[in-house]
Amino acid sequence: MSGKLVEFYKLDDGRLQIMLTREGRDELNSDEFTYPDFEEMIEWQLCNGWEFIWPEEIGALTDAPILSDAAERDDKGVLTSVGRVYWYPQYQVHNPVEELDRRVSIYFQEVD
């Protein structure tokens, strides 16, 4: 996979919309396609300011994927502060990549 497969949009209602790009749609519709994991789909964002936050790092009682673009870590990688985070509440019943394929966009909920 290469390129930007999804776009991130912070919405006024506190949600993070993750929407397929044309390249992402082409990738999902490719004859050679096998579903990537979610981390592969958002690789561009993870290399450009966003990161996964482990639930135990912030005391969250979930296994849902959690993302933030407002996290700070020390030189050992320990989370020292975090602003807003966004989590995927449907994680137990919906695979985010399959949902992107079906619906073109998914939503993560904001948590302060």
Alpha carbons 83 and 14: distance in angstroms, whole number: 13
Is 0.85 topped by the overall pTM?
yes
pLDDT band at 29 (very low <50, low <70, confident <90, very high): confident
* Mean pLDDT computed over 20-37: 82
Phi, psi angles (nearest 5°) of residue 99? -65, -40
Q: How many helices (H) and strands (E) does the chain have?
A: 4, 8
Burial 50-61 (b: 16+ CB within 10 A, else e): bbbbebebeeee
